[in-house]
């Protein structure tokens, strides 16, 4: 099957999720001008961007990152971001340790331990999905949130068709939603931090993932 046909099939299967969002009154917006991002993120109710996806701290390009926002009547009420990281020969654990040190302005590696399955299984061309936020007035719409993430995954697969993994950090309280978010792999206590842990990081955070083979199987069954 050609690349164009694969992209068409992915978007065909994403169409029901787009319909779900539209039925709930949401529209999708994917800005190409990164100078818009910070203002749009603030509109979602998020106080500040995380170091991993901060426009001010990172030199993102349209080739390695994008943001997707939920709009209602021209106002931004939700958002999410994706960043393609081509690890090549670098291990995922080394990448986490190296970048966390810089992101949180630490003099030494702030990570105490990375769970072995995380270190051993996640590799290659990985896509981080982060900064998922829905304005407080719109929270509780699990169906819409699930549809939003599934559309995000479809766009990732079309934009970076040779990805190996999608992954996200998630609080323990949200782990029960892993399946609804369209992820098939999860690991508790994925990263343990030296004390005090950097702001926003907790030992109790899980990593949820979607390996490429799992994506292909899941979306082949997602009529």
- State pLDDT tens for residues 85-124: 999 999 999 999 999 999 999 999 999 999 999 999 999 9
Distance CA 213, CA 79 (A): 26
Asked if 30 and 155 count as a contact pair (C-beta separation under 8 A), the reply is yes
Give just the sign of the alpha carbon dihedral 60, 61, 65, 71: positive
Q: What is the pLDDT of residue 1?
A: 47
Domains of the chain as residue ranges with CATH: 3-221 (3.40.630.30)
- State pLDDT tens for residues 24-73: 999 999 999 999 999 999 999 998 899 999 998 899 999 999 999 999 99
Q: Is the predicted pLDDT of residue 3 greater than 80, yes or no? A: no
- State pLDDT tens for residues 140-177: 888 899 999 999 999 999 999 999 999 999 999 999 98
Classified as helix, coil or strand, 130 is: strand
| pLDDT class of 220 with cuts at 50, 70, 90 | confident
Q: DSSP string of 137-198?
A: GGTT-HHHHHHHHHHHHHHHHHHSTT--EEEEEE-GGGGGGTTTTT--EEETT-EEEPSSPP
Distance CA 125, CA 163 (A): 5
| pLDDT class of 10 with cuts at 50, 70, 90 | confident
């Amino acid at each position: 099957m050609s690349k164009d046909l694969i992209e068409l099939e992915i978007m065909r299967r994403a169409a029901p999720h787009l319909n779900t969002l539209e039925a709930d009154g949401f529209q999708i917006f994917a800005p190409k001008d990164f100078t818009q991002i910070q203002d749009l993120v603030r509109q979602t109710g998020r106080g500040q961007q995380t170091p991993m996806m901060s426009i001010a701290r990172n030199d993102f390009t349209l080739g390695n990152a994008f943001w997707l926002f939920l709009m209602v009547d021209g106002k931004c009420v939700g958002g999410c971001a994706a960043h393609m990281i081509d690890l090549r020969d670098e291990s995922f654990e080394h990448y986490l340790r190296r970048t966390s040190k810089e992101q949180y302005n630490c003099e030494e590696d702030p990570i105490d331990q990375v769970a072995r399955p995380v270190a051993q299984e996640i590799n290659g061309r990985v896509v981080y999905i982060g900064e998922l936020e829905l304005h407080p007035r719109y929270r509780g719409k699990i169906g819409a949130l699930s549809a939003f993430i599934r559309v995000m995954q479809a766009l990732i697969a079309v934009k970076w068709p040779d990805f190996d993994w999608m992954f996200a950090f998630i609080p323990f309280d949200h782990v029960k939603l892993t399946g609804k978010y369209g992820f098939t792999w999860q690991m508790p206590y994925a990263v343990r931090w030296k004390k005090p842990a950097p702001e926003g990081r907790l030992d109790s955070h899980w990593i949820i993932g979607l390996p490429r083979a799992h994506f292909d199987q899941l979306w082949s069954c997602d009529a």
